Structure 1
Amino acid sequence: MRGGHADLPLHYGQVPRWLAQRMSLLGGAIVEAIVLEYGRDMFLRKLSDPCWFQSLGCVLGMDWHSSGITTSVMGALKASVNKKATELGIYICGGRGKHSLKTPNELLQIAGITGLDGDQFVKNSKLAAKVDNTAVQDGFQLYLHSFVLSIDGNWSIVQQGMNTESRLARRYHWHAPQVHSFMEEPHAFIYGYNQGQILNLTDRNAALTREAILMITKEHPDYILREAKKIAMPLHHDVREKDVNLKRLGTILALAQDRGVRSMEELLLLEGLGPRTLQSLTLVSEIIHGTPSRFEDPARFSFAHGGKDGYPFPVPTKIYDESIATLQQALDKAKIGFKERSDAIKNLSKIALQKEKDFIPNHRLDEFIAVEKSDSWKYGGRTVYGKEHAPKPKQIKNQLSLF
């Protein structure tokens, strides 16, 4: 994985406290699960994948396509991961606006604790910002810069720029193992809306121009970013069939409803969880254990815990809390040698993948979303506009088996 970028509709506003707290708890547990199962480098690799990052934001209950995912997810992870930095060996620095300016001091403080080369981290942080903000002048001005590093010396960077004219935000992802030089061909490919000619001093054809600049300034840039993944999110706020791989989503919904799966030895330890919680946990399991190809349709992951604006449906806080508790209990037991429950959660994504091979979905996504919305009050449904209430008797619909 070499990093990449994503183009997102520009959204303003704040995450309500009730959701921010849950995002921090679940996000921290997901990071801990990845580090425990696959190591610190795997988490940094996942973080550099824009599709995985977008999917993570959806699982955490953010609007599935908006720019707000970046600031909210990084803020939630910083709040939870840094509390366990000594245990996890992962540190998150920087953030949005004035917090991004604190990145150098935070990196130097961490270096003083860990013995890492803080000056080099500060240099990498500044150069990455310069490339995306200055060397490539694509109309986006950076306003968020997050530097994530491990005690092994590896790092990833997530930063986001704003274009107020097009009302788009662009998120850039970096991953240390692929950064050999920062100046020539820093992006293997950039996907976005064509806005005419731009200044790109990192293009291979700009070599002579760079040499001339070097002769004048006597600077010596020595770094590169390779972009491998890039996504452009749609402007519409609702989740539509074209935004979701219905076969994958249908498999997960069917798995949650399939009582026969309870007889499988791998899932016995999850007995007692309702089908709605299994639906959420299966998507959480994919975030932790899924391969890169599983995150090509980030909107699918919004069917774990909905979205704060009510798309595709209100956040089911009771299910959200049960997901957090189940994952955290599995982590706590795994630390003392009892991995059965964490293995059961891991197997959810495996079983979904197996069932997907021969699965044929019924294409009735709108009807399923309607049912989720009508049942939202049962699960403590909540949005930025308030809590969901039970519908009047004539509005109540029978549960549909759509997939």
Structure 2
Amino acid sequence: MGRRAGSADLPLHGGRVPAWLGQRMTKLGAVITEAIVLEYGRDEFLRRLSHPFWFQSFGAVMGMDWHSSGITTSVIGALKRGLAPLSGELGLHVCGGRGRHSRKTPAELMAVADRTGIDGTGLAQASRLVAKVDSAAVQDGFDLYLHGFIVADDGRWVVVQQGMNGERRQARRYHWSSEGLENFIDAPHAAIDGRNQGEIVNLADRRAASSRDRQLQLLADIGPGGIVRELDRLDPRRAPDQAMLPHLVMPDHHDVRPENVVMRRLHGALAAAADRGPEDFAELLLVPGVGARTVRALAMVAEVVHGTPCRFSDPARFSLAHGGKDRHPYPVPTRVYDHTIAVMKSAVVKAKLGQGEELAALKRLDEQARRLEASATGPSLPDLIAEEMAYSQSYGGRSVFGWEPAQNYEPDADTLGSEGKSAHVPARVPL
């Protein structure tokens, strides 16, 4: 059985992930998964997926729009593509998806069961029940359109599904975990991600048990028509407050603002990259084209691999690793992204062969970032973004609008000094 783990409210965005980014997300998502499974085990990776804050940070570090509904679709899609060839090795299988793909989930679970020997019928039933709870038992105004079911060879699973409210232009993501779930209708959620929009009907709350029982009794005693007549006679009653789960709310604005980032954590990561990078990645830094900018990105990827749940309260921070496809906070630095994938892949491959030095170096990078948070200082967020924009072309900057031209940066009022000159002169950080 399982439980609901949390939820998220996100601006509803349309569009598609361009192929050049989707391919990179597939590779980086797969290698991060491998690193987590190697370091902490398969169950821990499933726990990470069930946490809405980590899931959002995971998508942001892969270059998706840091705050939008598209992260859910793109992350599930990237994992489905990236983990498919590794399913035999990792024992992880991603089923379902968006729209028509969500309706194929039970059949895909049965196919996994045929290969692994787990209870496919039970998993298919769980898939249907989870979808029914979030579409019928929890009546919050969001219609489900995405259902991703991630299952392990031992039958443990996580569900990430998303609904939309077209009038409000918002999406809500629901996270479920089989770990600790005793039944599907008594406080089953691990988390729901969304903005408080007033009172809702939640028959999956354990405090609604008597209401569920009474509904069944009414249905047996007076039938559907009698229930309708009784409802007409009643005045509205105030619903009890709903139990709170981990709940992520993303803002509507596209740009990454200082209030969206915990700067001490960001400065700690930058300082760790400067401090540990030359020591732990000396061989890496001798590779032509690889330098300090790649180590900066690796520091944030390392936190996604090693960080604890409390570290992901500001998912926007992770967009500073590889930017965003919509140019927020800046275009995706494709050359940096490719170096990150190469370094992570090398570390994972060597760790499988018993040579764990590179993977250990990434862990030390994350540990150093945490140690330096209390004392590290650094540039402001606008200055960091200005630096990246100024040299976006040399980093292979690309977005849905195309490749970035040279010197495309125009400082805004926040980065100008009193004489109208840039208060921060960007210094290019080597790749």
Please name the residue that 2:297 is paired with. Answer: 280
Alpha-carbon separation, structure 1, partners of 2:78 and 2:425: 37
- Quickly say closer, same or farther: Cα 1:217–1:114, change in 2 above 3 A: farther
- Quickly say closer, same or farther: Cα 1:275–1:204, change in 2 above 3 A: same
Cα deviation code 1:168-212 (max 9, x no counterpart): 000001111121111123358867444444222123443232113
**CA shift for structure 1 position 72:** 0.6
Residues 3 and 174 of structure 1 are in contact (CA less than 8 Å); yes or no, is this contact kept in structure 2? yes
Cα deviation code 1:75-131 (max 9, x no counterpart): 011001011100110000000000000000000011011000011111111111111
SS in structure 1 of the partner of residue 254 of structure 2 = coil
SS in structure 1 of the partner of residue 154 of structure 2 = coil
Alpha-carbon separation, structure 1, partners of 2:64 and 2:353: 33
Please name the residue that 1:368 is paired with. Answer: 384
SS in structure 1 of the partner of residue 316 of structure 2 = helix
Alpha-carbon separation, structure 2, partners of 1:197 and 1:345: 45
1:151 partner amino acid: D
Alignment match of 1:179 (pick from 178, 181, 187): 181
TM-score (ref. length: structure 2): 0.85
Alignment match of 2:276 (pick from 240, 248, 261): 261
Please name the residue that 2:148 is paired with. Answer: 146
Residues 139 and 201 of structure 2 are in contact (CA less than 8 Å); yes or no, is this contact kept in structure 1? yes
Alignment match of 1:60 (pick from 51, 59, 62): 62
Cα deviation code 1:300-356 (max 9, x no counterpart): 000000000000000000000000011101111111111111111221111111111
Q: How many residues align?
A: 391
Please name the residue that 1:289 is paired with. Answer: 306
Alignment match of 2:44 (pick from 42, 45, 58): 42
Please name the residue that 2:317 is paired with. Answer: 300
- Quickly say closer, same or farther: Cα 1:41–1:394, change in 2 above 3 A: closer
Alpha-carbon separation, structure 1, partners of 2:151 and 2:190: 24
- Quickly say closer, same or farther: Cα 1:357–1:21, change in 2 above 3 A: same
Alpha-carbon separation, structure 1, partners of 2:281 and 2:373: 18
- 1:25-174 equivalences under 5 Å are 25-174=27-176
2:104 partner amino acid: K
SS in structure 2 of the partner of residue 376 of structure 1 = coil
- Quickly say closer, same or farther: Cα 1:190–1:89, change in 2 above 3 A: closer
Please name the residue that 1:399 is paired with. Answer: 426
- Quickly say closer, same or farther: Cα 1:392–1:196, change in 2 above 3 A: closer
Considering only aligned residues, what root-mean-square deviation do their CA atoms show, in Å? 2.4
TM-score (ref. length: structure 1): 0.91
Alpha-carbon separation, structure 2, partners of 1:147 and 1:5: 16
Please name the residue that 2:331 is paired with. Answer: 314
**CA shift for structure 1 position 64:** 0.4
- Quickly say closer, same or farther: Cα 1:351–1:170, change in 2 above 3 A: same
Could you tell which deviates more after superposition, 334-343 or 69-78?
A: 334-343
Please name the residue that 2:393 is paired with. Answer: 377
Instruction: State, as a whole percentage, how many aligned pairs show the same letter.
Output: 51
- Quickly say closer, same or farther: Cα 1:137–1:262, change in 2 above 3 A: closer
Of structures 1 and 2, the larger Rg is shown by: 2
SS in structure 1 of the partner of residue 392 of structure 2 = helix
SS in structure 2 of the partner of residue 171 of structure 1 = strand
- Quickly say closer, same or farther: Cα 1:171–1:263, change in 2 above 3 A: closer
Residues 269 and 340 of structure 1 are in contact (CA less than 8 Å); yes or no, is this contact kept in structure 2? no
